[in-house]
Structure 1
Amino acid sequence: MDISSAYTLTDPATGNLSLKLFSFENNNHFDHIQHNNYYSVIWLHQGSGKLKSDFSSYDFDDNNLLAFAPYQPFMLCASSQLSGVALQFHPDFFCIHMHHKEVSCNGVLFNNIYQAPYVKVDDSSAVTFRMIIEQMKMEMRQKELAQYDALISYLKIFLVTASRLKIQQQEALNALSESQYKEPLVLQHLKDAIENNYKIKHSAGDYAALLNISTKALGRIAKIHFNKTITHLIAERIIVEAKRELYMTNKSVKEIAYELGYEDEFYFSRFFKTNTDISPQMFRNTVGFGRDLVL
């Protein structure tokens, strides 16, 4: 990484990262598993390889925009030299949950358990992204009046542009022939079933029974279209909600566990740590909102 191209804004109260913007021209920065307590958006200008994220791996190439939520594990296994720009921000600087109506990136760019965590950047969007990045660099260099508000505004435009792009590309895929791209109806029903029942039904067999299909057949279709097992989809949905509750509320870990269908708080904590590599309490302490709450 070229240190001169890094711009960092820290929280004056804690000294922790608020916002960071940097360029990179090698494979070193993301070649190991990342477990960050902030959001990461990586625009790969050049390079190709395999992205490993959560329970899956995906091919990536030039002009991919990758997006990861706090403590979402990922790494880039490059097959050619990488270059691009990374934008990282802490939830205390900008919370996608609190600003969902304005930005609508939650469930699209971030925390989308059914699609790959990236989008292809087209020429028009690339122009917008470059303009925003340059404006953010200028703002972080000058530290003018209302710097925070200006940076938040630029970040919102960046995220809205990326979210719209991902939605447009998914809609274009859905318009193609069903045999090639469109999800079978059973998978649309599976997504609805998980959304409606993930707090009470935690096994693949539960959902196969709901949809009147064998567990094996449903699992095979899910793996082809989502690149994940049903068990992994359920686990990811539970983790997304657990993270939201840990950040947005002052509920105890025990309360959150119970609401998500776990009577044993310690079993839930082990489940959470297995999937995020961090305990629920440590997530709360490092990600933000609830860090000062005494539970």
Structure 2
Amino acid sequence: MTQPERFTLIDPKTGNLAFQIRTIEKDSLNQVQRLNQYSLIWIKKGKGHVNADFSEYAYNEGAMFCFSPHQPFMLTSVTDLEALVIHFHPDFFCIYKHQKEVACDGVLFNNIYTSPQLTITERDRLKLDLLIDQMKDEMQQQGLAQYELLVSYLKIFLITASRLKTQQQESQLQHISNEKEEPFVLQKLKDFINLHYKTKHKASEYAEMLTMSQKALAKLTKTYFNKTMTDLITDRIVIEAKRELYLTNKTVKEIAYDLGYDDEYYFSRFFKKKAALSPQAYRDSVGVAKPLYT
């Protein structure tokens, strides 16, 4: 492999990383990572496995993994590895604030139902490589409106990846439908969780709404999502808590109450168990939504 590249943009206000493109080699991410940035890891060569949120996923050439701030992951290779990594801080580009534009929240990031992996096809590889080259070039120019142009390139990159993953998810769901005939129940479950996660925190409540036994529901979630119902509910709560911590100035107590927890300290312990840091530490790490430049 050629000498690893690194292109970095620093936030002038904080001195912290805002945006970065770099290449990595074998074993450079073989310890658990909990970064305060979004991360996209695109495997250009090699194979191995990625551990993320206590699950393991095999990868081959062409795989891309998408991780949210402080989402734990570790990449292990079993062959020579070439990979491209993009990091961006929420202050550089906030997927929550730009959801209507790029539609990647719940697809590439914060998707509690599927793997964080997608496969880059040959056709889309050419598009994405071109965008990467344009971003690298812009990061070396430091010209007028550099931030705005880089964000535009990043948006196109995320939209392309989101479309690709959506197509792959639909294909996988169709395969499931043909083999096991369960997608209607799965969609109802997702809808119920999205509607009621703030007020209903027990698996039994969702089993009752779906008119099925807890045992049958547990088997269903394990088969299709490789998670328990409790995991699905708590993951959805934590995603919303992170969104509120970043997008709003609400106190932890207010956020806890909005999510159905009367005891702020119980909620903080619950959040820390899932996110590996307290709500306030998470907010201190990612900040509160604001533009990079004014």
**Aligned in 2, Cα 1:104/1:19: closer, same or farther, shift over 3 Å?**
same
CA deviation after TM superposition for structure 1 residue 177, in Å: 5.9
**Aligned in 2, Cα 1:140/1:258: closer, same or farther, shift over 3 Å?**
same
The within-5 A match list for 1:1-295 is 5-28=5-28, 30-176=29-175, 178-180=177-179, 183-289=182-288
Per-residue CA deviation, residues 101-151 of structure 1 (Å, 9 max, x unaligned), is: 111101110011111101110011100110011111111112111111111
Aligned residues: 290
TM-score w.r.t. the length of structure 2 is 0.94
Looking at structure 1, the residues matched to 2 and 140 of structure 2 have their Cα atoms a distance apart, in angstroms, of: 16
SS at match of 2:199: coil
CA deviation after TM superposition for structure 1 residue 81, in Å: 2.8
CA deviation after TM superposition for structure 1 residue 2, in Å: 7.5
- Would you identify which runs of 4 or more consecutive aligned residues in structure 1 move more than 4 Å? 1-4
SS at match of 1:289: coil
The sequence identity of aligned pairs, in percent, is 50
Looking at structure 1, the residues matched to 149 and 85 of structure 2 have their Cα atoms a distance apart, in angstroms, of: 19
SS at match of 1:194: helix
CA deviation after TM superposition for structure 1 residue 200, in Å: 1.0
SS at match of 2:179: coil
Q: Which amino acid aligns with 2:51?
A: K
Per-residue CA deviation, residues 146-174 of structure 1 (Å, 9 max, x unaligned), is: 11111111100100000000111112223
In structure 1, the gaps of 5 or more residues are none
**Aligned in 2, Cα 1:184/1:277: closer, same or farther, shift over 3 Å?**
same
In structure 2, the gaps of 5 or more residues are none
The answer to whether the 8 Å contact 2:26/2:77 transfers is no
**Aligned in 2, Cα 1:2/1:182: closer, same or farther, shift over 3 Å?**
farther
The answer to whether the 8 Å contact 1:109/1:166 transfers is yes
CA deviation after TM superposition for structure 1 residue 256, in Å: 0.3
CA deviation after TM superposition for structure 1 residue 271, in Å: 0.8
The answer to whether the 8 Å contact 2:176/2:183 transfers is no
Looking at structure 2, the residues matched to 257 and 103 of structure 1 have their Cα atoms a distance apart, in angstroms, of: 29
Per-residue CA deviation, residues 218-266 of structure 1 (Å, 9 max, x unaligned), is: 1111111111111111111001000000001111000000110111101
The answer to whether the 8 Å contact 2:4/2:23 transfers is no
SS at match of 1:65: strand
SS at match of 2:110: coil
CA deviation after TM superposition for structure 1 residue 203, in Å: 1.7
TM-score w.r.t. the length of structure 1 is 0.93
Looking at structure 1, the residues matched to 13 and 49 of structure 2 have their Cα atoms a distance apart, in angstroms, of: 38
